[in-house]
Structures are given as structure tokens and as C-alpha cells.
Structure 1
């Protein structure tokens, strides 16, 4: 049995959706473990009430992290709170299973999946990753295994000539990972959202482990949400996207029962439903900036 890890920060309406989707669709796991990096305690208490069987592990970040975010004090957040990748590595390193499933709070499972069946196959083939979501990346399939309890499993030849091309063999989450591979790559991240260092580490691992193999499910098993900016970083605020305003509005609506975490499933929350909640709480200009950003993101990330 393996563990399911969900990286989380201040999006409990998505986190609730993610947890519910795992419970509904996935078998063959031991525990769901939330790695929370500073979601306000009131919201995490609500998650505990809804999901008493889920283990929640917290970094040293407290409610003050979101307060600093609301003041846009990004440098103070970096000084006062630990690196999220360091927190994730510390927790996954303590796991004694060979494989783990890594998700993020804004993603959810949409197909039946038996992790035991997949892991047995991955182990026998010395696979270090099985992607459940891969954007528009094209993989060169070499072998295919039919799974009675879910999508077929496909092995592919890695195709990378530079660190950038290493995205063919790496993804930051949304995959079954051999734990040593995940730890090797994520431990190289110097900060949150440092994907380049992880790609370089993935290429290095592949070059030094010639028997390592790479796999994906035939069909996408994970959908990811794009209702609000993915990270609480200055890049979004510089574009006029004051992220905490959107998060505060949606989090409050979810906690009050006005936003059902299953709304729109298996796809994302519907834009009209989210827009209605934002308009109740925010000026129309702020909602308009969000609407324009959302349209751009959907065009870029979705087929």
C-alpha cells in the first residue's frame, strides 16, 4: 500500500474537492496525507471535520503567513517561513514505501485507479514515474499494458537533449513516483516554483540510472483547476491579479456552504458560479481582471 500526498496552501475549496475525488476513484492506498503550508487554521479545522480519516501535516507556517500575503509582504514571507520544497521533501523522505502518489490541492482524480495494480507493474519494469497528467506533451510509446481496474499503462522512450526537454520524464506532481526519483528531483529546488532545477535533476537521474523507465496512463486521470492563480507570488500581483482577494472570497463561500466543492466535476468549477461569488465580494474592476486572466489561462493550458 502506498500513500497519497496532497501539497496544499490556502485553497480549501479545491483541497476538499481533491480529497473527495481520491476517496471516490482510487483504491490500493494506505493514507491520504495533506502537506499544508499555511492555510488559515479555521479552514483546516473544517477540512478535518469533513475528512477525519485524512492525515494533515503542517509546516511551521501559521495564520500569519496569509496575513503577510494580504499585505503583499513577499520578502517577509520568505524570511519568516520555511521553503515549501524543503517541507515536502522532509515529509516524503520519512515514508517507507518505494512509491508515492503526489497531487496538489487544485487537482482531482477523474477515473477509477487501482494503485496496487499500477505499482506492481512499475516495480517489475523499474519505472520511476507514471504520469497521470501531461499537458500537451507527446510521448513515444514503446509498450502498453492493459489494466482491468483502470486506464492502460504505457511505457515510452524519453526524448530530451536539454534540461528543458526533461519535461518528457518529469512533472512536479500529478503522478505516481518512485520515491527516490521524486526526492532526488524536488530536493534540488531552490525555492517554490523552481522547476528548472528539478528538470536538470531529472535529466541527471536518467543519465546515471540507465535502467530507469518512464510511464504514463493511456488516458488522463487528473484534471487541474485554473479558477485562481496557482501561486501566491509577486508575478501575479504585478499583473493586477491580487490573488488573496479571490482566495478569500472563494474560501469564505466554501466554508459557508455556498460553494459546493463538487460543482462542475469532473471538470473545473464553472466560471459563472465562481464569477457570481466574486462579484458578491469584490469590485467589478477586480473581477474583470480575473475574468481576462482566466480566459488566457484556459486557452494556454487546455486542449
Structure 2
């Protein structure tokens, strides 16, 4: 099984991700990093520590140059084509994740893939951020000692044209359904049962179908639209989507690759924070596994920000930013404090 890691300028998290794979993933696997701009000196250290394949995106050189020269990259320009190429060349079943995600429990990838093939599973989620409220929209049944199915209930599906109207409210389609009482503000939430951005083992055909219309920008409604069409064609398959009974992976709620996605009008440069931690990691001062399996402790990050004392990366401002970030996910029902 191939493990594809989407990476951008946080080698201290990438190190943690890779070490967690080494400690927790059993079976035959290969790690492929699709990197969108991490400066070469950091990638060199990663390559010296782990046996990985690193593929650079089409905009890698420009973004890497900008990072090294304290210039701003467009955080909304994402390398979908590079991700797609990596998936096209990957194993028929693969895990796709990101550099700020790590394993916390063991898993045998050979056994998982064999089981997915046997039971025609198109997606297995290895983590759901502790968001179990979506179970209100699905039938959850035990499939094995390790897995349970999550089958969407009362979920509207149709062809590409109709689902496009539905997801993007074209011609006021969704508004009309809303006024008729056929949908509500939670309706689109149901479709997340069919998707996993950070922690999914996918059947290749399914992932490629979901992402076929995404070009260099991230609009999750596009993936949800395509997932709904796919589900409509496979409604008889009650095993389409499964998850592990206990979550195998975690992610951070106190870091971001770019401040542009999470701009809370706080006097803080996320790019500068990452730069400080990257350099500390490169110089063997920052322990990539500190506080594992939990995220890095706030006090640990404080040590490095206080030492640098940069006006754009003050700890108090970082903590305000991180708390805003955490609250955003608490509101979704995520377990952000464990």
C-alpha cells in the first residue's frame, strides 16, 4: 500500500508523521511525499532519516524561493494536479494524508487492503477527529473486530448536473428545496460521511472521481458533489465507507501551513512561527516527538518563540491564534484537547 503525504513547509510535523508511520504501520508499504515548497535543506534532512520518495509540485521552485526569502505564497493555490498524478501512479488502494497528521495506534496495511478488496470497501477512515455527531445521518454497523460501516441515510443523490445545482445553489435550486422543507442547514453535512481529507485509505478509482473537477484550488463542495454522484451509483453497496472502531490517527489544532486559511485578525505571522520551529528542528533543538501521541505542548512551543522573540511571532499572540483555531473545530464537535 502506498502512503501519500501532502507536504508544505512544516518539516518538524513531517518528521513526526514519518516516525509515527515507522512505529505503527505494519505490512508492505511505500511512503511518497508530494511537496509544495519545503526548502531543500529540510527535505535533505528528511531524506537522511527515512526511506521515502519525494515528488515536487509544479510550483515547488517558486514557493520554495519565496519561503527562503520571506516572501508570501498564495495559500489558496494548491497543487491538485500533482496530487492527482501521485494518486494515478499509486497502488490501487492507498492512504492519503498530510504532514501534520500522525499515527497514534498500530495498523496492518496488508490486512486492511485485503479486507477492503474482499468487502468492496471504497474508503476506510483511520480517524474522524472525534466528530461522532455525523452518526446522526448514517447507519453504523459492525463489520469486523476492527471496522464498522457508516452508510448515509436519507441522502439525496442524482447525476452530475443536478448535484452541481444542489451543492452550489445554482438557479436557487437549494433555496427552493429549503423553502419546501426538503433540506436544512445541516443537509450538506451528511455528505462528509463519504469523504476524508486527512485520514482515508481509498480505492483509487473513488478518489480520482471525487477530485476530477478540482483544479489548483480547494473547494470541498466539489469533492462532496462528486462523492454524492459516486454514492448514487453504488447505493446497493452497504460497505462503501467504513472506519476503524478506534481512531488510529490524529492531527494538529494549533498549527497551519499558511495563515491565509485561518486569519483571525491577530498580530501574528504563521509563516514566521513555522520558520522558527523549522530552524530549531533542523538544528536538532526541536524534538519532533515531544508529547507524542498528543500534539506538541503549548509550553514547548513557547520555549522557542520566547527564545527568538520575533515581533511577528510572540507567544501570547500565537496562543490567541491557536485558541481561535481550536474553537473553530470544537464548534464542529472535534476532540481538540486530547
Give the TM-score taking structure 1 as reference length.
0.88
Query: Take 2:85 and 2:73, find their aligned partners in 1: how far apart are those partners?
Result: 26
C-alpha displacement of 1:285: 7.0
Residues 89-111 of structure 1: CA distance to partner in whole angstroms, max 9, x if unpaired? 0111022x320011110000011
The separation in 2 between residues aligned to 1:261 and 1:37, in whole angstroms, is: 21
Following TM superposition, by how much is the alpha carbon of 1:163 offset from its aligned partner in structure 2, in angstroms?
4.1
Count of residues in Structure 1 that have an aligned counterpart in Structure 2: 290
> How far has the Cα of 1:236 moved from its partner?
2.5
1: CA distance, partners of 2:38 / 2:197: 21
Output the CA distance in 1 between the equivalents of 2:73 and 2:147: 45
CA displacement at 1:267 relative to structure 2 = 0.5
Query: Alignment partner for residue 320 of structure 2, among 260, 267, 292?
Result: 292
Is contact 2:306–2:315 with CA below 8 Å preserved after alignment?
yes
Question: Taking structure 1 as reference, are residues 290 and 265 closer, same or farther at Cα in structure 2, changes over 3 Å only?
Answer: same
Conservation of the 8 A alpha-carbon contact between 2:152 and 2:190: no
Query: What is the 5 A alignment of 1:85-100?
Result: 85-95=80-90, 97-100=91-94
Residues 16-70 of structure 1 show CA distances to partners (whole Å, capped at 9, x for unaligned) of 100010111001233111111111111111111111x111111133453145363
Distance in 2, Cα, partners of 1:252 & 1:145: 45
Which of 201, 214, 221 does residue 189 from structure 1 map onto?
Answer: 214
Residue number in structure 2 paired with 1:149: none
1:1-303 equivalences in 2 (<5 Å): 2-51=1-50, 53-68=51-66, 70-72=70-72, 74=74, 78=77, 83-95=78-90, 97-135=91-129, 136-137=131-132, 138-139=134-135, 140-146=139-145, 152-159=146-153, 160-161=155-156, 162-212=187-237, 213-231=240-258, 233=260, 235-236=262-263, 239-281=266-308, 282-283=310-311, 286-299=314-327, 300=330, 301-302=334-335
2:289 counterpart SS class: coil
Q: Which residue of 1 aligns with 2:177?
A: none
TM-score, length basis structure 2: 0.79
Structure 2 residues not aligned, in runs of 5+: 157-186
* 1:203–1:257 CA distance, 2 compared to 1 (3 A): same
Unaligned runs of 5+ in 1: 147-151
CA RMSD of aligned residues (A): 2.2
